[in-house]
């Protein structure tokens, strides 16, 4: 009886073990055959982390290698919710929401995710990052990233543009040359233990490739001089907006370009579209009398007039078609040179009438009006230059004096620079070359001549006439002591509601210096200055200040 009892127990235990063995065997076979790939991938994910390594975005430097934009190392805050208890999450939400000024609900939502990694806030100021590190919150960590930094804030903002939080270019050169600046991401495969702690062991590693650096034609000092003068004049003349461009007429290199209103590159989110608009290349307007340089150069090149030829300016009233053309100051008989010096609308119209619409149009086209200059900045517009077949009976008295034609400030400075450069029109550009961190040149951008607009002889004659504009005519306030200056003033009525306004104007000045050996050319344009609105009163003094200071600066460098 006792033997039978033990025998039954033994059989029960034996069959139980056999059953468990079979079940475990089936389970093991199932895991090995059917779940092996899934479990292998899960283990790989748990113990291996792929870390994306951010490249350092290339710097933007002025022509003298002074930094205008570069990246700095900053700390970005993240959380590992799977390592955090509810108490940890509550403590983190309470303390971080105050320091980061975040909505606690948003923070709670991020910490509630069933993930090993969630961003809390990226690219924090180091002082703030230090305070958070001092809290020693469980599950909260930092990753080093790089952030774009603009040391001069708004200086040259419309040229440089800006990049986003992920270092992607969005505007200006940051966008145009993003393929050179951005670099290439690298990666690292990090081993972790079962508790998701990094073991500081790398299985594979691909280093990031840093971006290349841009070296510009811009001179930081001349840019500063231009912006300082523009700001003072904006305040003095209560203008709506303004633009200035300074160019080397021999090469087409832009040494300074600025607009008002402007914006702070460090606070792009608070800027308006209007403040970010690069008016110097994308804003069109009727230029007024500065456009008279076309008729001047064309008439001399075509031998239609000489400097001493007499022109009857009709005492300030002259009929063109069914329109009576007027001068601001009635004049009688003037020489060709005096017509330009005194900016007589009637005199210039008679010059254009002798040339004829087609010859005038030919030279306006040669000066690249109605066409893009092809500058290496996005947003350029081509303006409007009507073909003579589209001219009305009064167009011959309007277009040569800067009406019925729309231009950009960039087109104007490029045109006056062509006269300064013995008639050779140079393509304007703002990037000199691209280099890497080892100072190896990756790509260069050489000066490029577009065409010979007028002969060197005609250019020299035109220079002398434009020097007379500053010495004896409407541009006297552009005079620089000891330096010969050539230029042209412009005062243009704005078109408001389809008609010319009598109280809203554009004031402008274009010129170059020294007139006998030009080193700098510039355009200055103001929109709706008041109460003063003449180009010779508002824009010419800005030209004088900027070019005078810039020439002194260039002499000191030599």
Q: What CATH number has the domain bearing residue 432?
A: 3.40.710.10
Residue 193 has pLDDT above 70, yes or no: no
In the block, which residue shows the tokens 């000024």? 101
| Dist CA 198 CA 191 (whole Å) | 6
Is residue 28 domain-resident?
Answer: no
Q: Are residues 253 and 189 in the same domain?
A: no
Element at 527 (helix H, strand E): strand 520-527
Tokens of 182: 């951005």
Q: Are residues 392 and 488 in the same domain?
A: yes
Span 31-56, pLDDT tens digits: 566 556 654 555 555 555 556 677 88
Is residue 24 domain-resident?
Answer: no
Element at 171 (helix H, strand E): strand 169-171
CATH of the domain at 73: 3.90.1310.10
Write down which residue in 159, 194, 216 finishes a domain. Answer: 216
Span 436-487, pLDDT tens digits: 999 999 999 999 999 999 999 999 999 999 999 999 999 999 999 999 999 9
Question: How, if at all, do strands 431-435 and 441-444 pair?
Answer: antiparallel
| Dist CA 224 CA 288 (whole Å) | 28
Q: Are residues 118 and 236 in the same domain?
A: no
pLDDT of residue 30: 60
Span 295-343, pLDDT tens digits: 999 999 999 999 999 999 999 999 998 999 999 889 999 999 999 999 9
Is residue 271 domain-resident?
Answer: no
Is residue 42 domain-resident?
Answer: no
- Catalytic amino acids? 289
Q: Can you give the residue range of the structural domain that contains 121? A: 56-216
Q: Indicate the Cα dihedral angle 152, 255, 269, 213, nearest 10°.
A: -80
Q: Are residues 418 and 491 in the same domain?
A: yes
Is residue 21 domain-resident?
Answer: no
Q: Are residues 199 and 254 in the same domain?
A: no
Q: Are residues 256 and 350 in the same domain?
A: yes
In the block, which residue shows the tokens 């002889």? 457
**Contact in structure between 174 and 71 (CB atoms under 8 Å):** no
Q: Which residue has the higher pLDDT, 264 or 199?
A: 264
Q: Identify the bridge partners of residue 70 per DSSP, sorted by sequence position.
A: 149
Return the minimum-mean-pLDDT range out of 147-161, 205-219, 225-239: 205-219
**Contact in structure between 296 and 339 (CB atoms under 8 Å):** no
DSSP single-letter state for residue 266: G
Is residue 114 domain-resident?
Answer: yes
Distances (CA, A) of 243 to 212, 226, 312, 411, 525: 30, 10, 36, 13, 5
Tokens of 57: 């975005």
Distances (CA, A) of 313 to 211, 474, 492: 61, 17, 20
Q: Are residues 302 and 370 in the same domain?
A: yes
Q: Are residues 450 and 336 in the same domain?
A: yes
Q: Identify the bridge partners of residue 507 per DSSP, sorted by sequence position.
A: 491, 526
Residue 143 has pLDDT above 70, yes or no: yes
Q: Are residues 241 and 173 in the same domain?
A: no
DSSP single-letter state for residue 392: -
Is residue 74 domain-resident?
Answer: yes
Is residue 161 domain-resident?
Answer: yes
**Contact in structure between 537 and 474 (CB atoms under 8 Å):** no
**Contact in structure between 384 and 398 (CB atoms under 8 Å):** no
Q: Are residues 175 and 235 in the same domain?
A: no
Write down which residue in 216, 246, 274 finishes a domain. Answer: 216
Q: How many domains does the chain have?
A: 2
**Contact in structure between 190 and 53 (CB atoms under 8 Å):** no
Tokens of 267: 């606070």
| Mean of pLDDT values over 69-80 | 86
Among 400, 405, 397, 393, residue whose Cα is nearest residue 325: 397
Tokens of 430: 């703002």
| Mean of pLDDT values over 519-529 | 98
Span 385-405, pLDDT tens digits: 999 999 999 999 999 999 999
Q: Are residues 101 and 184 in the same domain?
A: yes
Write down which residue in 181, 197, 216 finishes a domain. Answer: 216
Q: Are residues 256 and 187 in the same domain?
A: no
Neighbours of 286 (CB within 10 A): 22
Tokens of 554: 């260039």
Residue 77 has pLDDT above 70, yes or no: yes
Which 3 state secondary structure label does DSSP give 555? helix
């Amino acid at each position: 009886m006792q033997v039978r009892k033990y025998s039954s127990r033994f059989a029960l235990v034996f069959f139980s073990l056999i059953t468990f063995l079979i079940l475990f065997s089936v389970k093991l076979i199932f895991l090995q055959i059917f779940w092996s790939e899934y479990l292998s991938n899960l283990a790989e994910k748990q113990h291996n982390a792929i870390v994306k390594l951010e490249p350092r975005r290339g710097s933007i430097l002025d022509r003298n290698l002074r930094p205008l934009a570069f990246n700095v190392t900053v700390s970005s805050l993240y959380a590992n919710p799977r390592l955090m208890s509810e108490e940890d999450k509550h403590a983190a939400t309470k303390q971080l929401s105050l320091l980061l000024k975040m909505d606690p609900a948003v923070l709670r939502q991020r910490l509630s995710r069933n993930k090993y990694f969630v961003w809390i806030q990226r690219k924090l100021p180091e002082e703030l990052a230090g305070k958070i590190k001092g809290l020693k919150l469980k599950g909260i960590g930092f990753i080093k990233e790089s952030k774009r930094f603009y040391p001069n804030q708004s200086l040259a903002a419309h040229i440089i543009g800006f990049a986003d939080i992920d270092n992607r270019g969005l505007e200006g050169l940051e966008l145009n040359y993003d393929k050179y600046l951005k670099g290439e991401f690298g990666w690292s495969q990090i081993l972790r233990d079962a508790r998701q702690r990094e073991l500081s062991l790398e299985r594979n590693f691909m280093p990031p490739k840093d971006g290349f650096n841009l070296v510009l034609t811009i001179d930081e000092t001349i840019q500063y001089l231009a912006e300082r003068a523009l700001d003072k004049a904006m305040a003095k003349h209560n203008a709506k907006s303004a633009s200035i461009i300074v160019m080397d007429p021999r090469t087409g290199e832009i040494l300074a370009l600025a607009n008002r209103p402007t914006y702070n590159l460090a606070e792009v989110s608070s800027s308006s579209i209007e403040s970010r608009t690069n008016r110097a290349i994308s804003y069109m307007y009727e230029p007024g009398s500065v456009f008279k340089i076309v008729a001047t150069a064309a008439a001399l090149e075509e031998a239609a007039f000489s400097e001493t030829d007499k022109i009857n300016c009709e005492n300030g009233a002259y009929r063109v078609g069914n329109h009576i053309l007027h001068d601001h100051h009635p004049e009688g008989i003037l020489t060709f040179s005096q017509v330009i010096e005194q900016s007589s609308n009637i005199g210039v119209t008679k010059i254009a009438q002798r040339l004829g619409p087609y010859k005038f149009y030919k030279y306006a086209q040669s000066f690249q009006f109605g066409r893009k200059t092809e500058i290496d900045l996005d947003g350029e517009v081509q303006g409007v230059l009507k073909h003579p077949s589209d001219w009305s009976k009064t167009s011959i008295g309007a277009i040569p004096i800067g009406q019925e034609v729309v231009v950009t400030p960039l087109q104007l400075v490029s045109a006056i620079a062509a006269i300064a450069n013995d008639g050779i029109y140079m393509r304007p550009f703002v990037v000199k070359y691209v280099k890497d961190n080892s100072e190896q040149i990756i790509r260069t951008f050489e000066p490029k001549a577009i065409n010979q607009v007028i002969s060197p002889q005609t250019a020299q004659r035109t220079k002398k006439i434009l020097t007379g504009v500053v010495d004896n005519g409407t541009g006297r306030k552009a005079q620089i002591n000891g330096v010969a200056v050539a230029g042209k003033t412009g005062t243009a009525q704005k078109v408001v509601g389809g008609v010319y306004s009598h109280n809203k104007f554009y004031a402008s000045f274009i010129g170059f210096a020294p007139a006998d050996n030009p080193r700098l050319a510039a355009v200055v344009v103001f929109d709706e200055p008041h109460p003063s609105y003449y180009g010779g009163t508002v824009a010419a003094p800005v030209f004088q200040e900027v070019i005078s200071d810039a020439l002194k600066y260039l002499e000191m460098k030599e």
